[in-house]
Amino acid sequence: MDLLQTIVAHYNHWIIIFLMVSGLYIVVARGNMIKKLVGLGLFQTSVYLLYLSPGKILGGTPPILSPQFSVYSNPLPHVLILTAIVVGVATLALGLALVVRINEAFGTIEEDEIFAGEEDE
Amino acid sequence: MIAANLPALQVVLPLLGAVLCAFLQRGVWAWGIALVVSVAMPFVAAGLLIQVLDGGIISYAMGGWEPPIGIEYRIDVVNAFLLLLVSVIGAVIMPYAKRSVEKEIAPEHQPWFYAIYLLCLCGLLGIVITGDAFNVFVFMEVSSLATYALIAMGRDRRALLAAYQYLIMGTIGATFYVIGVGLLYSMTGTLNLADMANRLEGIENSRAVLAALAFLTVGISLKLALFPLHVWLPNAYTYAPSMATAFLAATATKVAVYLLLRYFFTVFGASIIFTRLPVAEIFLILSLAAMFGASIVAVFQDNVKRMLAYSSVAQIGYITLGIAIANKTGLTGGIVHLFNHALIKGALFMAIGAVFYQIGSVKLDDLAGLGKRMPITMGAFVMAGLSIIGVPGTVGFVSKWYLGLGAFEQGWWWLVFLLVASSLISVVYIGRIVEVVWFRPVSAAAKRAKEPPLSMLLPTLLLVAATVYFGFDTSLTAGIAERAAEWLLAGIR
């Protein structure tokens, strides 16, 4: 019963781990370069949740000093994750730009086909 | 005023320079700005190193926000040394860059190339100088994104594939790093590395902290190309433009090693890393696998750049071996090799870049007989090659000497034999190049080759001269490395 409670109480972690692992799996298992980037995005997004979910305290307010409030949520994770989102967007943009160039240079974005073509040379 | 704000200048100058370069139309102007900024960097770094050697740790509150709330730039012997290394390489390579970039990069892309190069420099210096865990991630991504773009600018279309591959692996590495930092943050409530080290006391054994350590180690190891996480490196170094390869090979992996040192010794402390967990054993095995595996693969390469790239993976093995030995002498060996390998690999890749400038190829067969056409360049290459092997009188010997001594102190006498044995493999691959270059008839590609322009030759010779000089006078390199090692190990709780 205790075990079950621990599992349920940490449901946010289970969601995070599920997203994380499925993102990584897509990166590893797919040969299509766009799909790989989608997986990478999923993987990065799971980390945003990893930061954000412990920052929330039930009943906590934003950190505004006032006698009425005594429990505050931590705003710092949000700031950090804003930065991380920007980094993620930049990475995705660069990745997609590379895929466009690869498509122009090789005529395909399937890794198998590209490597098969390279071996013929 | 300037002396007090040196830590900020170290990062802000390249950043501003990059923005300026991006606005310029002509490659030459952008080169001029990049040159001025890169040449200023070693002076800033030297100023910081002198301050640190005199007065101990510098703590600089970025933007006036006091640590641990604000972002702190914290400079001690270890990262002052690294700052100097990265900025010296960045400066030496700039005169070389002009001709090489003119040859390899389309004119309309040249200003962008220099802008990206400065961003990369900014990121690498930022990782080293900052004392804030999340700030490290930001700088890591600045330098990584710049690196992907630099690699993608290579002439060969496979450069795009190499950049894409590195983007995927590098982002996974960086994300692992953020996961580790996130777990540490939720355990300690701080992002300041020094503060984090204090607050970890007493909770070192909690599962979240150990998980954080695992994520950080794997993430950073991806960046530093620790065997077997090195698969991105050979392609990236082979297809990147010559100047980018020389710069990255000399600096990028070294900065990642520094980050690993910082986490292992300053944040977690050697007692948890080495006495409670089998980190030393894991690093010992992986280092040895890199030293032998990558060296043997290097022997069979026909593309000289790829051969040197595999040799880099092997040499990183020596550096991490210093971490695995984990006594003062061994760690000194690791840190000295960090410096020495940067000089050696910088010189080797610059020499090969000069060859590419002249004959447009880096295939081993095309290099045949080049010793007769480009004796100075190839002579420099051989000197740096001797250093890789570790011939006495070169820097390579100094690092291996310290590593060997450290292994003896640890009672691992068998490791000394393995060090010698792996050096013998590097004799084989350097020997292959020497044989082809000096003892074969001149190839068709090399027929009309002559020495490269002075702007490319002099920086290469400067680095080669440094590999010899620091092989004899070890007071600067080994002296500082020893202080750095002492300082890192003193951080043990």
B160 neighbourhood in chain A, CB within 8 Å: 98, 101-102, 105
Rounded to two decimals, the pTM is 0.92
Residue of chain B minimizing CA distance to A41: B171
- Read off the pLDDT band of B123 (50, 70, 90): very high
Site from A12, A76, A98 to mutate, B interface, most B CB atoms within 10 angstroms: A98
Q: Is residue B427 over pLDDT 50?
A: yes
The one-letter code for the residue type at B31 is: W
Please give the radius of gyration of chain A, using alpha carbons only, rounded to the nearest integer: 21
Is B185's CB within 8 Å of A47's CB? Answer: no
Q: What is the DSSP letter of B61?
A: E
The answer to whether B250 touches B346, Cβ cutoff 8 Å, is yes
Residue B154 counted as domain residue: no
Q: Is residue B493 over pLDDT 50?
A: no
A94 neighbourhood in chain B, CB within 8 Å: 145, 148-149, 167
Residue B389 counted as domain residue: yes
Angle between helices B232-239 and B304-325 (to 10 degrees): 140
Q: Give the pLDDT confidence of B304-342 residue by residue, as tens digits.
A: 899 999 999 999 999 999 888 888 888 888 888 989 999
A98–chain B nearest CA distance, Å: 6
- Read off the pLDDT band of B167 (50, 70, 90): very high
Q: What is the pLDDT of residue A48?
A: 92
Site from A17, A47, A56, A109 to mutate, B interface, most B CB atoms within 10 angstroms: A47
A8–chain B nearest CA distance, Å: 18
Q: Rounded distance, CA B68 to CA B47, Å?
A: 25
Q: Give the pLDDT confidence of B192-239 residue by residue, as tens digits.
A: 888 888 888 888 788 888 899 999 999 999 998 888 888 899 989 999
**Length of chain A measured in residues:** 121
B182 neighbourhood in chain A, CB within 8 Å: 47, 50-51
Residue B387 has phi, psi (to 5 degrees) of -65, -40
Residue B174 counted as domain residue: no
Q: How many domains does chain B have?
A: 1
- Read off the pLDDT band of B492 (50, 70, 90): very low
Give me the domain span that covers residue B341. Answer: 272-493
Which two structure tokens, joined as six digits, stand for B393?
A: 């009188």
Q: Rounded distance, CA A1 to CA A9, Å?
A: 12
Is A91's CB within 8 Å of B141's CB? Answer: yes
Residue B311 counted as domain residue: yes
CA dist list (Å): B206 to B159, B184, B275: 44, 11, 16
Which residues, in sequence order, are bridge partners of residue A32?
Answer: A110
Site from B134, B136, B178 to mutate, A interface, most A CB atoms within 10 angstroms: B178
Question: In this predicted model, which residue has the larger pLDDT, A119 or B448?
Answer: B448
Is A91's CB within 8 Å of B158's CB? Answer: no
What percent of chain B clears pLDDT 70, i.e. is strictly above it? Answer: 99
Which two structure tokens, joined as six digits, stand for B41?
A: 């960097």
Count Cα neighbours of B291 within 13 Å in the Cβ-side half-sphere: 25
The answer to whether B388 touches B347, Cβ cutoff 8 Å, is no
Q: What is the pLDDT of residue B1?
A: 67
Q: Give the pLDDT confidence of B133-151 residue by residue, as tens digits.
A: 999 999 999 999 999 999 9
Residue B56: count other Cβ atoms within 10 Å of its Cβ. Answer: 12
Q: Is residue B166 over pLDDT 90?
A: yes
Residue B371 counted as domain residue: yes
Q: What is the pLDDT of residue B103?
A: 85
A2-120 CATH fold: Helix Hairpins (1.10.287)
Q: Is residue B120 over pLDDT 90?
A: yes
A62–chain B nearest CA distance, Å: 17
The answer to whether A85 touches B175, Cβ cutoff 8 Å, is no
